[in-house]
A and B are shown apart, each in its own frame.
Chain A
Amino acid sequence: MQSIAAVLAEHPFMKGLTPRQLEVVAACGEKVHFKPGQFLCRDEEEVLRFYLVYQGRVAVEIFSHRRGAVTIRTLVEGEELGWLWFDKPYHWHLDARAVELTRTVALDVNCLRQACEADHDLGYEILKRYGHSLAVRFRILKLQLVDMYGG
């Protein structure tokens, strides 16, 4: 069975961290699995965990009374959920539901934040990846907003 650090080493978000840094991050985490239909997080809950998906599929949903639960994004292996944990107000603004059997490494966000404060080199590496993740999401969101198929 793979150690958490080994799983992290292969995940695109953590790839490139030194073995020592991986151990520090792994110490904040545990493997958590979700059955189809189970929620990884729910709207308005406090953000306690940052999920790195390494198998399966997660539907990120926003609920509106008119349309019901609308899936705005799906995440698969190699992607992450909860990029907002780095920034206040530390509350989820959406639901995330496993569509298939999903395996993740769940990292405790307080632990991770403290580790970043204690070691700025690690902090910088995490922030770089966080910035990249934001940029990718922004590009996707912009295209979704434009509704390019409309009309």
Chain B
Amino acid sequence: MTGQGHASAVVPVGEPMLPRIFRVVKRVRETADTFTFNLVPADGGQELAFQPGQFNMLTAFGAGEVPISISGDPARPETLVHTIRAVGSVTKVLCRAAKGDQIGVRGPYGTPWPVEQAKEQDVVIITGGLGLAPLRPAIYHVLGHRADYGNFELIYGARTPADIIFWRELERWRGRFDTRVHLTVDSAASDWRTNVGVVTHLIPRARFDPENTTALVCGPGVMMRFTVQELRNRGLPLERIFVSLERNMKCGLGLCGHCQLGPVFVCKDGPVFPYSRVRDWFEKREI
């Protein structure tokens, strides 16, 4: 159901390892080490249509290539948006990109968040840290088709207030009457006026009908494991809890063998999975 979206005319079909060239038109600093880039095609080709949850392989020419989730609005593909944290050799170079710089883009790849299947259900999104970035396209989609869904709850946790991303949008979403946003941090200085505690502790406060809910979860592995447990305690079946997983990826095409988790390739069988599918391997160590 995924594949490469619209194949650009400028890259020969059959050369899936060749990136398209995109140009940075905007750079926003989210936190000390996380940046959001707005990109447009620099090769005269089409805009990159994608589904929420998909990712691209981004090339920092000279440094290498990494998988980064698309964090923009799927209804506005004319701008390609990526939120990147500078943690490794390639992302550190990517995060130095300035307006006008060129980045290689291959994709979109991967399975999307189940926004279609979740119609007419309550939707609960639970995310932590940078996990909000791959979920933002799903949030945009739900808010853009609000009548298609029941209750909509967003639970977001970060380490400290300085690590919160998309702060202004979080405020905007919280201001809506048809959306509930719960925010928490692991620890804070005394001027922080909202919650301190872990994300999972907010789940009992979320309003949803477990018989009729789809949960979308993304964040550090530990957070996802404990979140799934809390959701199960509320009666949510594992088939309706969706997680977005990460693994080392070199190709994004299911060819290089690096992203395997047991029998699944995270790049093409995922990164979004119903938890029931990956539970046997995700819960074991060193797999």
Contacts and interface: CB of A to CB of B under 8 A. Distances in A.
Interface of A: 57, 59-61, 67-74, 76, 97, 99-100, 136, 139-140, 143-144, 146-151
| Category for how many chain B residues contact A | 20 to 34
A139 B190 contact: no
B198 A67 contact: no
A149 B196 contact: no
A73 B159 contact: no
Interface string B195-210: 1111011000000000
A61 B190 CA distance: 8
Q: Which 5 A-B pairs have the closest CB atoms?
A: A149-B159, A149-B129, A148-B222, A148-B220, A69-B190
A144 to B, nearest CB: 5
A60 B195 CA distance: 11
B189 A140 contact: no
Interface of B: 87, 128-129, 158-159, 163, 186-190, 192-198, 200-201, 219-223, 226
B102 to A, nearest CB: 29
B193 A140 contact: no
B222 A71 contact: no
Contacts of B196: 59-60, 71-74
B197 A74 contact: yes
Contacts of A99: 193
5 contacts: A71-B187, A140-B198, A144-B186, A148-B223, A149-B128
Nearest to A144: B186
A23 B58 CA distance: 66
Given A71-B188, A148-B128, A143 B194 contact: no
Contacts of B158: 149
Nearest to A141: B198
Nearest to A95: B190
